[in-house]
Structure 1
Amino acid sequence: MAGRTPRPPSNLSRRAFLAASGAAMPLMGGLSSAEAAPKRPNILVVHTDDQARWAMGGYGNDDIHTPNMDLVAAQGALLTRAFVSTPVCSPARATLMTGLDSIQHHVEDWLHPEKEPDLGIEPGFVLFPELLREAGYATGYVGKWHLGLQPRHHPLRRGFDYFMGFLEGGTKPLDPTLEIDGETAQRKGWLVDMLTDAAIAYIGEHRKGPFFCMVSYRNPHAPWTPVQPEDAAHYEGKDLTLFRGSDVNPKKVERMLREYYACCSAVDRNLGRLLTKLDELAIADDTLVLFTGDNGYMIGQHGLHSKGNAHSIKPPRTCRPNMFDPSVLVPLAIRWPGVVEPGTRINEMVGQIDFFPTLCDIARVPAGARPKVEGISFLPLLEGREVPWRDAFFGSFDQHHYDPSANLRMIRTDAWKLVRNYKTGPDELYHLATDPDELKNLADDPGAQAIKESLRKRLVAWQRGLGDEVLGER
């Protein structure tokens, strides 16, 4: 398959925005509540790869061992409906960084290093760490980048003053290849622990703050083994609950879950190390901790394995492009002492598309220095304020690397989900209120045509607002 061609950005550059806003002016917060905060917090974002919402104890999974993830939620907020706009890694990461949908930022599928070495998130798109750095934050990135390989895509040119990690989509869990101090080489040790070591060092160096540090773990992305024995031990000899659809190959699914859970527990153990370091440095009360994942995942649900580009577990191995809830829902827990009440549960639909405006509000980035984004700041929700909120979440996924290719567009409300496939498949309509596992497609049901048409109109209006090129195909 031929690689995709880089496309020009559709918004102004960071420099243009800063020039237009007069960046030398005194800092003014985007929201009055943020302005009133006595001190801007340090921000620690812990970001996993392929960890679904169901793979965290706080969401009701009694099989998995995630005490530190659960602690962050218990000491702060657990967001019960956190979505990704695109259920594969590179587009989801680009959306997190830009506050834009993949239709807008043009990172449509995971970036293939051989087929698409020139693709990435282009410099014309403003990334929120650029604005945080301009607002006085030290900005460090540790771990998986996967937003472009060329020098113009490098984190050190995209708002970060420190980078340690890898630019491609993956490296080995043991003895990985990493870039450290500008030199890329194979290193000895466990990747998950080495990333934590680097983050701890960065936090220690910048403990006087304010700092923004993002730790993007490779775990629990496959391959899951080898994994440290102490993390695997939690699941040795344990009977695991299988998901509906796993009966296609239950023994295989249970083995996969055991390895996947161990990888999640390795992250949890290292999250504990980070939390301990904040305590040792006496900066835990001054630091917002945000834990999340880049996209959801399936191990057995619908008889599938993986995410938006999932494949069947039972041979023959076939690809099933999808936007099922297990693919688009991710864990999200936020601890912010003095602001977020412990034990808070936020049920509004939020997304990683909302991180850009939310973090800019928290860091009090001048409103005039920001580009227009699709995301909405959920700072008011963290503060416990009642505000009007979205009643639907939209998403898109253009699959290029597997057959069949697909152009999926989604609208999801509390009770319904409509997914349109502009290339290869039929529409999908699920009544989530009575069919939360999305097993009965009602797209052709005569009794569901009115709601389908209503959702279709809303979806098309959203697509038109973003200039979606696939609209002419159906």
Structure 2
Amino acid sequence: MKIHPYAFCSLLMLVFIPFSSVTLCKAAERPNLVSIVTDDQGRWAMGLYGNKQIQTPHMDQIGREGAVFMNAFVATPVCSPSRATFLSGRYPTELKITDYISPDEAKSGLGLATTTWPQVLQKNGYQTALIGKWHLGEQNRFHPRQMGFDHFMGFLSGGTRPMDPTLEINGETKKRKGPLPDLLVDDAIQFLQQSKDKPFALCLHFRAPHTPYGPVPEQDAAHYQGMDIDVPITPGVIPEQIKKSNQDYYASISSVDRNIGRLLKELDRLQLSDNTLVIFTSDHGYNNGRHGISTKGNGHWLAGGVTGPKRPNMWDTSIRVPLVMRWPKVIEPGTQFDEMVSNVDMFKFVLGALKIPETENLALHGIDYSPLLFGKPVKSRTALFGQYDLHNNGLAYMRMIRTPQFKFVKHYRAKRMDELYDLEADPGETKNLIRRRTNAKWQKTADSLEQQLIDWQKSIHDPILEPAYQ
């Protein structure tokens, strides 16, 4: 007769097996977590979301063997503030990290200074690790080992070389030979092997596909040799330039995907897959020619083959991200969720999924949508909010509200820049209806959304509303 392992643990407790054995059983029952985050990967740059040219079989595997979220967003379209929100459940202005942390800011002492969900997991008996990118402060008090991670291997700043990188390993800075994604996953596999008998939470944060995209191993670039990349071509850009940029971008993503495959295979080999929630997402979206700009929320106009002025933005291409999850013990393969979710939800979501009580006295935002994984409904979200202050390479103060039908973006300290889009009629956000505000319908819509936005800003004590910022 075959006895389920969890039932076996219960039998052990009934016959008074020593406490240490019971502890091991309880540890085996507790779910593990693997959180994989890429850097600068748009939702459109993944096969499962409809891209027929990019090779992402293992990213797709996570969603096909589990769940795909069709409407996942981030609260801000640039790395440091988005990562801070992901780990803390708070908005960028609350954390005083509203743009990427520059080297000068890191040196002067800017960093993430609040409770993170890895800290809560650590206090609840989880072995925790961050492998890869941090970019949330470089002083000792902001080091990952001080922010909830038992193990850290990677880099504290915004980036390192995609090939032969310099990394912090066991507290020492070392130059390593090889592709960065491979080196990170080598360490991640070692962490899994060492932690397999304890509940663990692994955060694997890749640098790719951030610029520079390469070099990448030939096996990853080979997928796209000679391929005519199908990308939107906006007026003024040089098609060959955009196609080549996306070709290199795809190769970088495939280098990550291949390594995700290695990690999933190791989870299978260690017989950890069934009880491990694997989350794959990105820190924000990307354009790479879409809307006629480069990169993300701090992108530049592209025209005539040159890099033009910045175009601060919160288009869906910059804030919409892939989000897929696999948890064989819980999630039915092929599940799809259409609910709007945000990375500000991640703190509450992780605690809810792992059945860990929320820590008291934490000012967390967002919702716990983990009941969806267990087949239970959650309250429908009527709006998402976002913000971005671009101050390192320009000047922009944007606040956003997005409903299922509309998006309104308020540009503070800038004239004639506010934006209103009807996402049902214009999902590509090509027609700014603010310019039609003389139309009574759009006037009423914009005014209503702006008031909701202001109410939200007041609720988080957004400093942009203070007279000093006007």
Fold in common (TM above 0.5)? yes
Equivalent residue, structure 2, for 1:324: 315
Separation in structure 2 between the aligned mates of residue 362 and residue 83 of structure 1, nearest angstrom: 19
State which of 401, 406, 412 in structure 1 corresponds to 2:402.
Answer: 412
Q: Which amino acid aligns with 1:107?
A: I
Q: Name which one, 1 or 2, has greater alpha-carbon Rg.
A: 2
Amino acid in structure 2 at the alignment position of 1:130 = Q
Deviation at 1:122, TM superposition (A): 4.0
> Equivalences for 1:150-189 in 2 at 5 Å?
150-189=139-178
Contact 1:139 1:160 (8 Å CA) reproduced: yes
Tell me the CA shift for residue 372 of structure 1: 2.6
Matched, 1:285 2:274: yes
Residue 469 and residue 162 in structure 1: after superposition, are their counterparts in 2 closer, same or farther (change >3 A)? same
Q: For 1:68, what is the secondary structure of its paired residue?
A: helix
Question: Secondary structure of 1:367's partner?
Answer: coil
**How much does 1:386 deviate?**
2.0
Q: Which residue of 1 aligns with 2:386?
A: 395
Q: Which amino acid aligns with 2:64?
A: A
Q: Which amino acid aligns with 1:81?
A: N
**Alignment pair present for 1:267 and 2:256:** yes
Partner in structure 1 of residue 425 of structure 2: 434
TM-score (norm 2): 0.90
How far did 1:368 drift? 4.3
In structure 2, give the amino acid aligned to 1:469.
P
Contact 1:246-1:301 within 8 A present in 2 as well: no
Change (3 A) 1:301 1:186: same
* 2:446 equivalent to 1:456: no
Q: Unaligned regions of 5+ residues in structure 2, if any?
A: 1-26
- Secondary structure of the structure 1 residue equivalent to 2:350: helix
Unaligned 5+ runs, structure 1: 1-36
- Kept in 1, the 8 Å contact 2:348–2:358? The answer is no
CA-CA distance at 1:361 after TM superposition: 1.6
Partners of 1:71 and 1:283 in 2: how far apart?
A: 16
Change (3 A) 1:450 1:84: same
In 1, distance between residues paired with 2:411 and 2:377? 36
3-state secondary structure, aligned to 1:398: strand
Q: Secondary structure at the match of 2:274?
A: helix
Deviation at 1:365, TM superposition (A): 2.2
Give the Å deviation of 1:302.
1.1
Provide Cα deviations, 1:223-267, integer angstroms capped at 9, x if missing partner. 012111000011011121112527611100000010000000011
Correspondence for 2:295 among 298, 306, 310: 306
2:80 pairs with one of 90, 97, 103: 90
Comparing 384-393 and 140-149, the one that deviates more: 384-393
Aligned-residue identity in percent: 45
* In 2: Cα distance, 1:246 partner to 1:268 partner: 32
Q: Give per-residue Cα distances to partners, 1:46-70, cap 9 Å, x unaligned.
A: 1100011000000000010000011
Root mean square deviation of aligned Cα = 1.5
| Partner in structure 2 of residue 469 of structure 1 | 463
Deviations 1:62-120 (CA, angstroms, capped at 9, x unpaired): 01000001110001110011111010000000000100111211110000013442344
Q: What is the TM-score normalised by the length of structure 1?
A: 0.90
Q: 1:118 aligns with which of 73, 84, 108?
A: 108
| Aligned: 1:69 with 2:63 | no
**Which digits, 9 at most, give the CA deviation of each residue in 1:28-47, with x for residues without a partner?**
xxxxxxxxx99321101111
Q: Residues 273 and 246 of structure 1: is their aligned pair in 2 closer, same or farther, counting only changes over 3 Å?
A: farther
